[in-house]
Structure 1
Amino acid sequence: MAVHAQELEDLLRAAFPDAEIAVDGADGRHMSAMVVDESFRGKNRVQQQRAVYAALKGKMDGSDGELHALALTTRAPD
């Protein structure tokens, strides 16, 4: 089952309600997302990306995950 961009954005928005979020990708298996959120301030990139993956609630887990690849950009606001 594929993940639609809006579904991915909704999951991210639930975890990061005040974030700037942009999701792109039409095939539902290979997508990109940018998340800019204050909660990332002081965290390294790995910590930021782990927080985003946790928000995806298993959509990328294992070889049978609904989402195969996610090009992810994370940062704190300027």
Structure 2
Amino acid sequence: MLTKDKLARINQLANKAKTSRLTKEELKEQKLLREEYLKTLRQSFKNQLSSVKIIDPEGTDVTPEKVKHLRTENKDN
């Protein structure tokens, strides 16, 4: 999870980019913050997806193998 300060900085840079040009340093900072944000978002989504279990109407577990693999992968980490 990103800190509130980092999220605020992402928004601050985005708003500044709408009204004026960002400096090279600000562009680099923005890129790094966005990459960190996306990495965190993807990991969070993977964690959420790995907890999904799909059961058909007969009560059989039909969870895709990819999801089952993610579940075991997350347990190892």
Confirm or deny a common fold (TM above 0.5): no
Bigger Cα Rg: 2
What TM-score bracket applies, with the shorter chain setting the length?
A: under 0.3
Identify the structure with bigger relative contact order (alpha carbons < 8 Å, sequence gap 6+). Answer: 1
Structure number with the higher strand fraction is 1
Structure ranking higher in helix proportion: 2
